[in-house]
Structure 1
Amino acid sequence: MEGHYEELGGGIRLWVTPAHKFGADAFLLADFASPRAGDRAADLGSGCGIVPALWFRGPEPAPREAVAVEIQEAACAQMARSLAEGNLPAGRFVPLCADLRELRGRLPAGGFDLVTCNPPYTGPGGGLLSADPAGRIARHETACTLADVSAAARYLLRYGGRFCLCHRPERLADVICALREAGLEPKRLRLVQQRPAGAPWLLLAEGRRGGKPGLRVEPPLIVEGEGGFSPEMLRVYRKKENKKEGGR
C-alpha cells in the first residue's frame, strides 16, 4: 500500500495514502469537539482515522474509547496499520468497518457521549463527481447524506450528548435543518477564516441531543496571522514557530 507515516505529536503517527489522507479541517474539528476525560466517542466516516487519533496525542483529556467508523475497506486497513505501528492505544482507538447508516446491532443506541463527523461537503447535484471512488465518497453525498450522518449521530448519542461536525458555510442552513430534524439542537457555531478580512471557508457546529433552543455563535477562528499561522492555529497544530509548513 503506497503511503507514509504522518507524525501527529505525542508519539502518535498515522499511516496515510493518496486516497485516504487529511487536511486542516480534521485538526479544527478534533479541537472543536475536545472530548472530556472518560467520554465514549465515535467518529463517523473516519477515513484514515485522523480525528480520533488526534485526541490521543495528549496532554489534553482523551476519551476512554474512540470508535472510528469507516465504510471503505482500504481506509480501515490503514487504520489497522496505524493501530499496530503508530502507538495508538489498543482497546481505546477502535476501527470499525461499517456503513454509518447501518449501525444498529453494531454499536449501542445511546452509548456515546460525543460523535464527530467530517462529512462529504457536496450535496446531490452539486458539482462534477470525482472519478476516483474514494474521492467520490469523501467529497460527495453518494454513500451518505447530511441527514444520514445526523440520524446516525442521534442513534449513538445519549441524552445530552454532543454531535460536532465541520462543513462549508454555504451549507449552514442545511446543517441547522438536518440537526434539528434529527433531534440534535444546534448549540454552538464557529466560522473559520483564512485571514481576518476574508470570507469564512469552514464552519464548525455542535448539536446536542435533547438540548434546549439557544445557539451560541463564537468568535471566528483565524488561520493566518502575521508571518504565518495565527496563535490559535499554532495551538491547534501544536507548533511553536509562527510559520506555515507544507502538507497541512
Structure 2
Amino acid sequence: MPETTTATEHLANGTAVRVTQKHRFGTDAMLLSAFCGVHRDWSACDLGSGCGIIPLRWHDMGHRGRAVGVELSPEGAQLLREAAEELEHITSVCADLRTLQLEGNFDVVSCNPPYFTGGFRSQKPGRSEARHEVTCTVADVANTAARLLKDGGRLCLCNRPERLCDCMAAARLAGLEPKRLRFVRQRADLTETPWLFLLDCRKAGKPGLHLLPDLVVEDETGGFSAEILQIYGKKEAL
C-alpha cells in the first residue's frame, strides 16, 4: 500500500477503521483493547491512538460512553475523525499528550506506547516515533494518565517484557498502582520468552499485583488459539 493511500478495514461487528501504510494497527493494539475490559458506559481515553483502532475496537465491542483518541500526528487523528464521523461518542484530538489540555475524570486510559529507548531507528516516516521514545516516554504516559483518571480509574498499557520495570516504576511514581499483569507468548512452550505484557494500574490503588495466566497466540497446530480468535471476533482461522 503506498504511504498516501487510505484503505478501510472492518472489525468483527462491522466497525470501519481507516488505515494507511504509516498508520496501521497490529496484534498488540487488539490485545490491549480487549484487556482494558471497558464497560458500555465508561469514559475512556486512548493516548497515542494512531488510526484510532482502540476507541473503534471498543465501539465494536459495544462501548457507547465517551471515548477520546489522542494522536500527535494530524494524519492519524484525521483517520479516526473520518472513521468516527457518525459515532458521536468518539472524539479525535490531535495533540501532544505531554501538554494535553483535556477534561479528565476518565474511568480508563489506554496506551500502546513506543517500546524502545535505543538501537536501530527506521528511516520510514512515522515509524521511528511509533517504535522509539522520541516524542514521549513511559513516564510521560503515566503522568498524563494520572491527570486524566478519576480516583480508582485505570491505566492499561502494553509493552515489551524488558520494559516492565520501567513501566511499573513510572506508574507508581505517578500514583498509579500496578494491579493486573499478563504476559503474551507466541506458543505455550515455556522455554520461549513472552514477547509482550499487558499491565493494568489503578489510580490511588492499594498495593497488590495479580498475575494472570499467559495469553498464548498459537495453538498446538500452529493456528491461532481459541482466545485470540475470540478477541478478534472470529470463529475460524484468520
* Fold shared, TM-score > 0.5 on shorter chain: yes
TM-score bracket for the superposition, by shorter chain length: over 0.9
CA distance in 1, matches of 2:66, 2:57: 13
Equivalent of residue 11 in structure 1, options 3, 11, 14: 14
The offset of 1:113, in angstroms, is 0.6
Equivalent of residue 56 in structure 1, options 52, 59, 71: 59
Give the direction of change, closer, same or farther, for the CA distance of 1:150–1:63 in structure 2 (3 Å limit): farther
CA distance in 2, matches of 1:163, 1:154: 8
* Matched AA of 1:119: P
* Matched AA of 1:195: R
The offset of 1:79, in angstroms, is 1.4
Match in the other structure for 1:107: 102
Secondary structure in 1 aligned to 2:91?
Answer: strand
Equivalent of residue 199 in structure 2, options 202, 205, 218: 205
* Matched AA of 1:216: H
- 2:92 equivalent to 1:95: yes
Give the direction of change, closer, same or farther, for the CA distance of 1:63–1:41 in structure 2 (3 Å limit): farther
Which blocks of at least 5 consecutive residues in structure 1 are unaligned? none
Equivalent of residue 34 in structure 2, options 26, 31, 36: 31
Count of residue pairs brought into register by the alignment: 232
* Matched AA of 2:210: R
CA distance in 2, matches of 1:179, 1:90: 32
Secondary structure in 1 aligned to 2:60?
Answer: coil
Match in the other structure for 1:65: 66
Equivalent of residue 225 in structure 2, options 226, 230, 235: 230
* Matched AA of 2:187: R
TM-score relative to the length of structure 1: 0.90
The offset of 1:22, in angstroms, is 0.6
* Matched AA of 2:201: G
TM-score relative to the length of structure 2: 0.94
CA distance in 2, matches of 1:80, 1:176: 32
CA deviations on 1:102-125 (whole Å, 9 max, x unpaired) are: 12xx3124x2110000000002xx
* Matched AA of 2:208: G
* Matched AA of 1:187: K
- 4+ long deviations beyond 6 Å: none
CA deviations on 1:83-132 (whole Å, 9 max, x unpaired) are: 23xxxx522111000110112xx3124x2110000000002xx1122212
Q: CA RMSD in A?
A: 1.2
Match in the other structure for 1:192: 184
Match in the other structure for 1:81: 82
Which blocks of at least 5 consecutive residues in structure 2 are unaligned? none
The offset of 1:9, in angstroms, is 2.1
